[in-house]
Structure 1
Amino acid sequence: MKFRDGMWMTAEGMSVQHAEEVYDIRETERGLSLLCPTKRILRRGDTLNTATLTIELEAEIDGVISVQATHWDGAVNRGPHFDLYPAGKPAVKPQVSRDEQGTTLSSGSLSATVHPGEHTFNIGFHATDGSKRLTSMASRSVGFAVNPAPTSELAVGDMRDFKHFIFTQTSLAVGETVHGLGERFGPFNKLGQSVKLWNADGGTSSDQAYKNVSFWLSSRGYGVFIDNPGKVELEVGSERCNRVQASVQGQRLKWYLIYGKNPKEILYKYSILTGKPGKVPSWSFGLWLSTSFTTDYDEATVSSFLEGMRDRNTPVDVFHYDCFWMKAFTWTDFVFDSEKFPDPKGSISRLKAAGLCKKVCVWINPYIAQHGEAFRVAADKGYLVKRKNGDVFQWDMWQAGMGLVDFTNPEACAWYAECLEGLFDQGVDAIKTDFGERIPSRDVVWHDAEADPEKMHNYYAFLYNKTVYEALQRRFGDDQAVLYARAGCAGTQRFPVTWGGDCESTPEAMAESVRGGLSLGLSGFAYWSVDIGGFEGSPPPWIYKRWVAFGLLCSHSRLHGSRSYRVPWTIDGDDRSEEGCSRTLARWTALKNRLMPYLFAQSAEAADRGLPLSLRAVCLEFPEDPTSWYLDRQFMVGDSLLAAPVFDEGGEVEFYLPRGRWTSFFTGEVRAGPGWFRERHGFGTLPLYVRENTVLVLGREGANSGAVYDYAADVEVALYQVREGASAALVDGNGRALGRIEVGGDGRLRGTEILKGQWSVSEKGRKVDAAAAGKGIELLE
């Protein structure tokens, strides 16, 4: 939201006042409280008929300072509130000092200094050791606005006719870029954008987002988390070109400035604040196959799909039943359609016993259609959200007469979890938690009378996914719970996995999806997936195959569509050639499964550090490289592999390699960065480069057991330009740490006693079949 018309004028209909000076500084138990009048106080009479803003600076943890700006402190601060420091808050001792530079609050490595000048407003944030200036709140950067502009001071005696906003602005340095803010499909660098943090079902080709996360990361070495689950509006260099403005409707706005010596440290501290990503089991990294959305399928269809995948040498680890496992007009009543699935428990058991899949996932959402069995129970017991007149909140969008589960009601949460238990009893192992964005914010009353309907709009996704995730944990174990969520907000990274929503079957939508995954990864989410082939439309074979290559390098990989199936033989008429969809899918599935020793070890580190596994933005690994902050068509898979999807039918692709030596995974050719490169690829490869000084542990080539096997047995340990100290962690299939393999001073590997079977070492990168090396790859000048 913009409050000004250019630099000099106020926006039409707005009355705006700014903090003009710091009149008084009071030291508090945790920091500083600043009294800031909205005009300069030159004489005593100026204190009359003058508004003030209170700015509280508090030391939170090492490297984190919170900032709260308040106009009228008597306003009720209704919930919900983000669940902060879920694992406990580390101790920090605030330090306050005063000198000619001003009054400084230090919280470990981060400090905020209030300028000492008389009739001045300026608060600078910097490294405590003086090594770096980060950002500042300069003149006229904190204020409040009233709309419509009151005709007199007395008019605001009745605030029901007015909207009150509070805003803060932080400065942007020359060349600074801004990233994150959830799963956003537009430009990777948010500079110049107006961003509204308000969950919406808008697809991937709009400025709306399913997962709005009130955290952004700056290329200058800090992050900002806005502590408000309601609608937050940002002007990222779009109202004042040199400032980021955040505003909310209300009387107070609180945010946290997070400093770290690199972006990874910033994300780690953010994970302390809002929660670390949960760990997920090894089977979840394998290939997921879906029925797709509105297709007509039954038990025979499911079996034929899985048998067809087996016949084409493509193991499926997870089979997913989308919406129509339930009867039309009954979603979500948790009951299999008896006509299509007369014996769901037996059917699922037979699929697993035959080795056609390891696990089963089903689709649900939090909207309860009135024609399903669950509606009457939920309505009678008060488990559904109500209108202000006492009616159950219903509408006919999506499902006829649907109500909305009230997850602020503990009894409703327990009932919903009990319904899930019935599915687990039938053999269901994972849950796709779809929707959760279309949450009403008007004419609605929650069970929790303190819940602000506007704040509940985004926060609903947290409560919904938390309920399902904890039900999975109770049934299967803490690190064995897997859901597949679409909606999210700050904190829902604790409940993995998420996917990118409704994309079209086009190369442009694939690029949109890459940007969405990169942005979400810089918002604290470790795992992310996408509908391979695109959700809307029917992909031509070339798009399907290019998307398969991209999708199998995401942390999680699922074939899913809307009105058409995504099994490969339906895409190209069952072309069984090497360039056909079936062989392409088989090759990329085999590659991902072979990477599992590396991926699963990297997954454990990503969860512990609050980092994205894949898609990981290149700037996380190479923050000192200015180009890395603009790369939105490529990504890291963990810390050692760089991948560049191909968006062109003919296979031409341009990509960037940061400084260092990089080895092509497919050919063994070494390239030196930094620099841009162009290649042309067939459907079996893409630019996939291994970083120098990498010890890459690969599973046995040719194995066809899926993603779950013994990651220490029969492995190939591939060394890429290693130096002393280069190492790789190894975990078993349950995520238990086995140890590290490390290069010693004599160049020999240490720690190999954790390896089993017929393992081998390849000293110049992995063994590449000379006949296959470079097949389908053309280097372009």
Structure 2
Amino acid sequence: MKFTDGYWLMRPGVTARYATEVADVRTGEDRMTLYAPVKHVRRRGDTLNSPLLTIECWSPAEGVIGVRTTHHAGSVQRGPEFAFPGSEQGAGKVRRDGDVVELSAGELTLRVDTTQPWHLEFSADGRVLTTVGERGTGFVTDAEGRHHMLGQLSLGVGELVYGLGERFTPFVRNGQVVDIWQADGGTSSEQAYKNIPFHLTNKGYGVFVNHPGKVSYEVGSESVGQVQFSVEDQSLEYLIVYGPTPKRILERYTALTGRPALPPAWSLGLWLTTSFTTDYDEATVNRFVGGMAERGIPLSVFHLDCFWMREYQWCDFVWDPDTFPDPAGMLARLKEQGLRISAWINPYIAQKSELFAEGMREGYLVRRPDGSVWQWDLWQPGMALVDFTNPAATAWYTGKLRTLLDVGVDCFKTDFGERIPTDVVWHDGSDPERMHNYYTHLFNRAVFELLTEVRGEGEALLFARSATAGGQQYPVHWGGDCESHFNAMAESLRGGLSLGLSGFGFWSHDIGGFEGTPTPAVFKRWTQFGLLSSHSRLHGSKSYRVPWDFGDEAVDVTREFTLLKHRLAPYLQRASQQAHATGIPVMRAMVLEFPDDPAAATLDRQYMLGDDLLVAPVFTEDGTVEYYVPEGTWTNVLTGQQVTGPRWVREQHGFHTLPLLARPDSVIPFGADDQRPVSAWAEGVELRVHAFADGAERTVVIPRSDGPGETARFHVTRSGDRLTVTTDSPLPWQLRIGGPDGTLHTQPAGTSEAHLPYPA
């Protein structure tokens, strides 16, 4: 939110008060509190009739320092609050040397000179990261009398800002105005489904604003050398998270706010849905599933969208008897074909549903201040909202879901959760403004915890649209309602990469686009992109997304890339385990993997899939693609062609290839089974060695398919013209040097060490 009129003036009706100096400081062993007047105090009389800001500084974890500025401390704090499962007591250490006070948390230090005008300095390893200057701490009242707390952190020359959730606007946030406020706005506007008050910069630190309500950002916009954030409140808290690398920032941030659960490995396969408002029944489902099998396209998950329930009655969790007269039998027959089942749900109860009267009677629905149930006719007639702040309402809602799990549903698409009203009263007394963003967290957590309870640890999985900070704990999230053209495909990728830089490890999108119908070219290119994402789902709105609707070549492309993803399953599962253990996403913006390469800083049309694969989707009708290759010799996994960087490359690709490059010195495991995502990955695994330099060495882990851990480990080294492989695997394995047509060496079971020639 902008408060100033240019650099010198305030906007009409706006009054600002900023910390000017330190009047007093109180220190403890691990925290300090600063008291800052909003005008210079020269004599005792200056202490009268003027605000005094309280600034508390502490550390919740190593490498993290928190700052909380308060104007009036007597305001009622009704919640909700973000949880910090990774916080530590006493992580900071205070040191005072004369007039200088420092708070350190590992390498990160906050320094304050109490004799100088107001100035906070955050530094690490001898380098200043960011500062808070003369307008950086304070409060503002606007023309309507609303009270805002604000903070400003300096931006250095060339400093770039990323994150703030899944945003579809330009990838680098500099110059943007961003409101952290959940909205159902599609993928083509400044609104976002997943608003996260966390950003990081290319200067080695991140910032989390600990406020679940609306946070208004001016990112080098109102003041071009500052990131400003403000909240309508009496207190503002933010945490500085030190890296120095982007990966380390995400590791620390997700350690504090929660790491993503590990999705089951079966979810890595291809998902197909009925689509949204299309006509479908059991015959349609069977035609889709049978059609995929007839064309040799393995399918892992089948999703039933909204109309598995009766119209006007969402969500009552009752199968429409006209279209699905035998749901238990249908799901059993689908499961006999090896499929998992996903069902669409949302947190709304339509008035026509019998659950509405039950929920109203028991007090399970959100109410207005006068005690009436909040309702509107948008989305569903007379729709009400389940109050997840009420434990009894949560148990009631999840109890309905249990009946679906009993008949064979494996996971849920938790749709919506963004249009949450603020003119309501919550069961636990939560602040409606703070609950607007936070509601989705309660919704997704309730469903995820039920799945964990019923299906077991490691089997819980959502397909969620909305989220706030901490929501990364309940994967997977998808990108929402996009159009069906190349621009929408590119904006979807932008959003996914931004979400990955906001702490989310897993992300998907609607292959082919949601609104409208894609051209065959768009469908085929989006299919390549989708099957090289962490999770892959074919889904549309008014039209189906079965590949044969887009021509014979679309069928071939879908088959080829589904089989490729199955062969890459051990590699992808390893990347998934990394996301679960460290918070580093499966799909990574290039700046995350190459922070020291200036050319990588703004790239948003390509990404790293795991540690070693570079993907550059094609966004053009004629197959032309421009992408950047970092330093070294990279190998196209599909064609064997090598490209040496650093440089920009322009290529043209048919629909059966795209830039899918293996990193120099990489060893990528390919599973032997291309028909399913879950198999005995270590048996017959093929290790593909790419541009391995003399003296290079890599360790390759073949992960477990049923959770964290590994089943085999290979250590590969090169010395001159000899490649040595040692392994603890008792199973047969293969090694291929180069691309798909490279030299293949087959090793029998029990080969614990092999010495192989490396071609000149």
TM-score normalised to the size of structure 2?
A: 0.95
Partner Cα separation in structure 1 for residue 76 and residue 700 of structure 2: 52
Deviations 1:580-610 (A, max 9, x none): 1111111111111111011111110111000
Offset at residue 92 of structure 1 (A): 4.5
Q: Give the aligned partner of residue 636 of structure 1.
A: 608
One-letter amino acid of the structure 2 residue matched with residue 199 of structure 1: Q
The more displaced of 738-747 and 667-676 is: 738-747
Deviations 1:289-318 (A, max 9, x none): 000000010000000000001111111100
Change (3 A) 1:461 1:134: same
- Contact 1:653 1:680 (8 Å CA) reproduced: yes
1:381 aligns with 2:355: no
User: Residue 55 and residue 416 in structure 1: after superposition, are their counterparts in 2 closer, same or farther (change >3 A)?
Assistant: same
Q: Is the contact made by 1:135 and 1:170 (CA closer than 8 Å) also made in structure 2?
A: yes
Give the corresponding residue for 2:687.
717
How is 1:443-454 mapped onto 2 (pairs within 5 angstroms)?
A: 444-449=424-429, 451-454=430-433
Q: Secondary structure at the match of 1:707?
A: coil
The whole-number CA distance in structure 1 between the counterparts of 2:712 and 2:246 is 27
2:176 maps to a residue whose letter is: Q
Q: In the alignment, what sits opposite 1:212?
A: 195
Distance 1:674 1:92, change over 3 A: farther
Take 2:176 and 2:307, find their aligned partners in 1: how far apart are those partners? 39
User: Hey, what does 2:297 align to over in structure 1?
Assistant: 314
Amino acid at match of 2:683: A
C-alpha separation in 2, matches of 1:387 and 1:658: 56
> In structure 2, which of residues 692, 708, 711 is the aligned counterpart of residue 738 of structure 1?
711
Pick aligned residue for 2:518 from 514, 525, 539: 539
Aligned position for 2:118: 121
Q: 1:756 aligns with which of 722, 731, 746?
A: 731
SS of the residue aligned with 1:144? Answer: strand
Tell me which residue corresponds to 1:139: 134
1:84 equivalent in structure 2? 84
- Does the Cα contact within 8 Å between 2:605 and 2:616 map onto a contact in 1? yes
The match for 2:102 is 104
**Aligned with 2:467: secondary structure?**
coil
* Aligned residue in 2 for 1:779: none
| Paired position in structure 2 for 1:525 | 504
Give me the whole-angstrom Cα distance separating, in 1, the residues matched to 2:9 and 2:426.
Answer: 41
* Equivalent position of 1:155 in the other structure: none
Q: How does 1:297-312 map to 2 (within 5 A)?
A: 297-312=280-295
Asked if 2 retains the 8 angstrom alpha-carbon contact of 1:100 and 1:116, the reply is: no
Are 2:561 and 1:588 equivalent residues in the alignment?
yes
Correspondence 1:176 to 2:159: yes
**Hey, what does 2:654 align to over in structure 1?**
682
1:322 and 1:733 map into 2 onto residues whose CA distance is: 28
Matched, 1:405 2:400: no
Per mean C-alpha deviation after superposition, the further-off stretch among 59-68 and 204-213 is 59-68
Are residue 480 (structure 1) and residue 480 (structure 2) matched? no
Deviation of 1:30 after TM superposition, in Å, equals: 3.0
Identity within the alignment, %: 50
Q: Aligned-pair distance for 1:769?
A: 11
Q: Distance in 2 between matches of 1:695 and 1:755?
A: 19
Pair 1:509 & 2:488 matched: yes
Per the alignment, residue 397 of structure 2 pairs with 416
Q: Between Structure 1 and Structure 2, how many residues are aligned?
A: 739
Q: Could you tell me how far 1:115 is from its partner in structure 2?
A: 2.6
Contact preservation (8 Å) 2:699, 2:716: yes
CA distance in 2, matches of 1:744, 1:659: 21
Structure 2 runs not aligned, ≥5 long: 745-760
Q: How far is the alpha carbon of 1:724 from its aligned partner?
A: 4.0
Corresponding residue for residue 473 of structure 2: 494
Range with greater deviation from structure 2 (55-64 or 199-208)? 55-64
- How far apart are 1:438 and its partner, in Å? 0.6
Q: Aligned to 1:290, which of 259, 273, 276?
A: 273
CA deviations over 1:666-702 (Å, ceiling 9, x no partner): 22222221111010001111111110121110012xx
- Residue 212 (structure 2) aligned to one of 226, 229, 249: 229
- Specify the alignment match of 1:654 in structure 2: 626
Q: Where does 1:690-705 land on structure 2 (aligned, <5 Å)?
A: 690-700=662-672, 703-705=673-675
Whole-Å separation in 2 of the counterparts to 1:28 and 1:39: 26
- Hey, what's the Cα distance between the residues in 2 that align with 1:47 and 1:629? 48
Alpha carbons 1:92, 1:108 under 8 Å: kept: no
Pick from 321, 327, 331 the counterpart of residue 314 of structure 2: 331
Secondary structure, counterpart of 2:458 in structure 1? helix
Conservation of the 8 A alpha-carbon contact between 1:313 and 1:704: no
The alpha carbon displacement at 1:714 in A equals 1.5
Contact 2:636 2:739 in 1 (8 A): no
Mean CA deviation greater in 512-521 or 90-99:
90-99
Q: Which shows bigger deviation, 656-665 or 722-731?
A: 722-731
Structure 1 residues without counterparts, runs of 5 or longer: 149-160, 771-781
* Residue aligned with 1:620, SS: helix
Computed over aligned residues only, the root mean square deviation of the Cα atoms, in angstroms, reads: 1.5
